């Protein structure tokens, strides 16, 4: 970019209102936003990574307890939620696509569909958590060591460790979903106000990146929490 004062003046006069003065153009601004978002997602990968590491260590140490405890999770609800979340990633991708076309009504429609699917996921999660409380499978003073469905013997007591990790990992994931739904509703309000056009739709794009990341976390959580012991049944 040339640094002549005149060129800078012309650029400033013609700049779109969404363009911050320290960026050369909208393209550069968007690339900076995307880079910042991706770096945030790297920290998120490591945030969840700590829990996945704990999972690997304890599962390696207490394999049978983990397999048996995993079989007590509701596979149908887990699989249903996987489908719901992947579908919500599709509607999010479509919202970003609509943003790039500047189609206001479609942006709002796809964002609301994503909110609906995300809420469905959380609703199913509530049902699952309630079930766990009712069966005394929640770690703590009321925890009762469950029976192994494969051998009909009580599981090793480290089954409690599996449920600790289950609640921490799915709880942290659900917290991300709640934040994501908040962000989606904020986008809906902005879209209604007419903030997003062909020229400027970065926030939709960035929340999209976040939402897909949360979907990816679940893509790994589902087999690691729900499926690991099914072959022993």
Partner 1 sequence: MSRQDNGHGSLGAYFGVFAALMVLTALTLWAAFQHLGIWNTPVALAIATTKAVMVVLIFMHLRSSPRLTAIVVATSVLFLAFLLLVTASDYLTRTWIPIYFR
- Residue ranges binding partner 1 (CB under 8 A): 27, 30-31, 34-35, 38-39, 41-42, 45-46, 49-50, 52-53, 56-57, 60-61, 75, 79, 82-83, 86-87, 89-90, 92-94, 96-97, 100, 205, 208-209, 212-213, 215-216, 219-220, 222-224, 227-228, 230-231, 233
For the bound state, the minimum distance from the C-beta of residue 200 to partner 1, rounded and expressed in Å, comes to: 12
Q: Which helix (H) or strand (E) holds 28?
A: helix 26-61
b or e along 33-49 (b: 16 or more beta carbons within 10 Å of the residue's beta carbon)? beeebeeebeebeeebe
* Minimum CB distance to partner 1, residue 39 (Å): 6
**Residue nearer to partner 1 on the CB measure, 83 or 189:** 83
- Is 108 within 8 Å of 192 (Cβ atoms)? yes
How large is the angle between the packed helices 202-221 and 26-61, nearest 10 degrees? 10
The token pair that represents 192 in the structure block: 């209604």
Nearest approach in angstroms of CB 211 to partner 1 is 9
CA pair distance 101, 40, nearest whole angstrom: 26
CB of 133 to partner 1, least distance (A): 26
Nearest CB to partner 1, comparing residues 57 and 189: 57
């Amino acid at each position: 970019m040339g640094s002549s004062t005149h060129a800078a003046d012309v650029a400033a006069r013609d700049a779109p209102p969404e363009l911050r003065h320290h960026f050369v153009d909208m393209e550069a601004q968007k690339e900076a936003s995307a880079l910042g978002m991706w770096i945030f997602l790297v920290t998120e990968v490591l945030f969840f990574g700590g829990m996945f590491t704990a999972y690997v260590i304890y599962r390696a140490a207490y394999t049978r307890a983990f397999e048996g405890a995993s079989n007590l999770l509701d596979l149908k609800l887990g699989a249903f939620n996987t489908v719901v979340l992947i579908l919500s990633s599709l509607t999010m991708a479509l919202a970003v696509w609509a943003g790039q076309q500047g189609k206001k009504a479609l942006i709002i429609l796809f964002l609301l569909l994503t909110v609906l699917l995300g809420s469905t996921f959380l609703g199913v999660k509530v049902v699952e958590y309630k079930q766990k409380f009712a069966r005394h499978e929640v770690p703590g003073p009321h925890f009762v060591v469950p029976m192994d469905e494969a051998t009909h013997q009580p599981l090793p007591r480290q089954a409690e460790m599996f449920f600790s990790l289950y609640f921490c990992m799915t709880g942290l994931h659900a917290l991300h979903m709640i934040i994501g739904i908040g962000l989606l509703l904020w986008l809906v309000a902005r879209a209604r106000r007419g903030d997003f056009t062909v020229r400027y739709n970065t926030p939709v794009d960035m929340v999209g990146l976040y939402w897909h990341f949360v979907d990816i976390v679940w893509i790994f959580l589902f087999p690691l929490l729900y499926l690991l012991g099914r072959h022993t049944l």
